[in-house]
Structure 1
């Protein structure tokens, strides 16, 4: 079977529709439809039910998903095995949002290397759609992100809650978006809560889909925005940034996603270290919270 057909099938699952899959694969919707029809002809069954809401797997589709993922993962595993650096016994591919690589995953990386020095680690960054696709195809072993989607064959575990706070280069700023405000796209839940808290906000002059990019712009050019408190803390202590008093705060969970059939030994130690780092940071955050609490809290931004 052509692995391209299996990859297209898995892309439809991860993206939720033929249209989104076509955008992600950089092909036309008709190409995606043709590939799925060819695949269905080869298998002699219908894999998807298409409706206005997108696509839904049939029972045959759910059964084939496991085989498609195994097929693609086998090819990727062969590439991993062939590409294992000399002196190492295996490779682990970790994908995460850029903001989660700052501090959290970097700390995990060092501890993982100390615990399993015989394992070569490949670190990648990306947004949620890319990370989910990599997990489903088997190109990524473990993904760490804010808004994962529940998919068959994958397990999600919450690591910690990110605290998003409004900060500004101005020492005194009103508790709502001002000129120079940078809107960071932290996901649909954040968008909904942001709109509810700032109903009169007309829209930003700059939107960034990566928090690091928005933060660098604010530091270089002035302005304000919502960023994880753990990332901006050094800038607050250095007085490069200032907390915006009485501005709402948002809570955004961070998750780890991994395949249920992953290597228990290797995945087990990697996940154990992640939870250990997350728990240690949560404890440190709780110890600081009474002294640094500022602003008023808004409803949490729940990750899917």
Structure 2
């Protein structure tokens, strides 16, 4: 398997320029052309055409794209497996949404190490968009995320929910929330839609962020109002740093486990996913607080 041919093809599909692909891969333009011609010779089909507008994939090139991604993914998996052979039972690269890492990273790793003591684990916190890309490229084995992209060869399953509630340093009811002091939480497209439907007058704000930790620090430093995780809300209220906004809706964020279709039933994957599902199942669902007559 000549993986450099596949990687050159995929880069060219993204850059649409032989020059840019040569620069990005640190090779000459003639090498890019040679690799593309080698692929085209194997298929006996043109994969790209070049004109004044740049480099354009042919119908054959577009059809090969998903297969090329799958081949690259398999190569990365094989490379890691061979590299770690004899050292540990398995090496796993895990991605996790920022807010879930803040809430559960320690407990999740403790459960994984208990269930899979011979597995080497690398974990990184990231946003869903990047984790989907990394899964598709084979750079992650499994991810716990908010937003599935349903890319070819990837499998997603819902494993629970994380709940966000509105807190404020200045008001206990929605009527007292000032839009100029509102910090808009942008945790995912799903969260944004729910927020926009529930609180359209607060959907435009001067300040926004996409991580619970960042929003908590902004609230502490600047004051105002924002949606945070239920656990963070409890902590802020207990500290006397903020109030629960009593008549604001609770917004639930669905959590998904994502992995490749080939490994979705693998022993290690099922245990890792089950560990996060168990943690999510222990979370109480925050109720709407009645403001009274």
- For Structure 1 versus Structure 2, the TM-score category normalised by the shorter chain is 0.7 to 0.9
The 3 A distance-change label for structure 1 pair 88 and 218 is: same
Of 263, 277, 280, the match for 2:279: 277
* SS of the residue 2:262 aligns to: coil
Deviation of 1:195 after TM superposition, in Å, equals 2.8
1 CA distance for matches of 2:153 and 2:178? 41
Q: Is the 8 A contact 2:166 2:244 kept in 1?
A: yes
2 CA distance for matches of 1:46 and 1:238? 66
* SS of the residue 1:179 aligns to: helix
* SS of the residue 1:151 aligns to: coil
The 3 A distance-change label for structure 1 pair 44 and 266 is: farther
The Cα offsets for residues 64-102 of structure 1, whole Å up to 9 and x where unpaired, read as: 6245323344235424653x4995332111101110112
2 CA distance for matches of 1:227 and 1:209? 10
2 CA distance for matches of 1:177 and 1:76? 51
Q: Point out where structure 2 has 5 or more consecutive residues left out of the alignment.
A: 49-57
The 3 A distance-change label for structure 1 pair 242 and 59 is: farther
1:101 paired with 2:96, answer: no
Q: How well do the aligned residues superpose, as a CA RMSD in angstroms? A: 3.8
1:257 paired with 2:282, answer: no
* SS of the residue 1:248 aligns to: coil
The Cα offsets for residues 215-265 of structure 1, whole Å up to 9 and x where unpaired, read as: 211122212111221343222233322211211222221111100112712
1:159-238 to 2 correspondence within 5 Å? Answer: 159-170=159-170, 172-175=172-175, 176-201=177-202, 203-238=204-239
Tell me the residue number matched to 1:294.
289
* SS of the residue 2:152 aligns to: coil
Q: Which has the larger radius of gyration?
A: 2
The 3 A distance-change label for structure 1 pair 10 and 131 is: farther
TM-score normalised to structure 2 length: 0.74
2 CA distance for matches of 1:11 and 1:270? 33
Deviation of 1:112 after TM superposition, in Å, equals 0.3
Tell me the residue number matched to 1:4.
7
Deviation of 1:62 after TM superposition, in Å, equals 6.1
TM-score normalised to structure 1 length: 0.72
The Cα offsets for residues 114-173 of structure 1, whole Å up to 9 and x where unpaired, read as: 111111110111111110011011100111111111122111111112222111123535
* SS of the residue 1:261 aligns to: helix
1 CA distance for matches of 2:152 and 2:254? 21
The 3 A distance-change label for structure 1 pair 215 and 46 is: farther
2 CA distance for matches of 1:71 and 1:46? 20
* SS of the residue 1:144 aligns to: strand
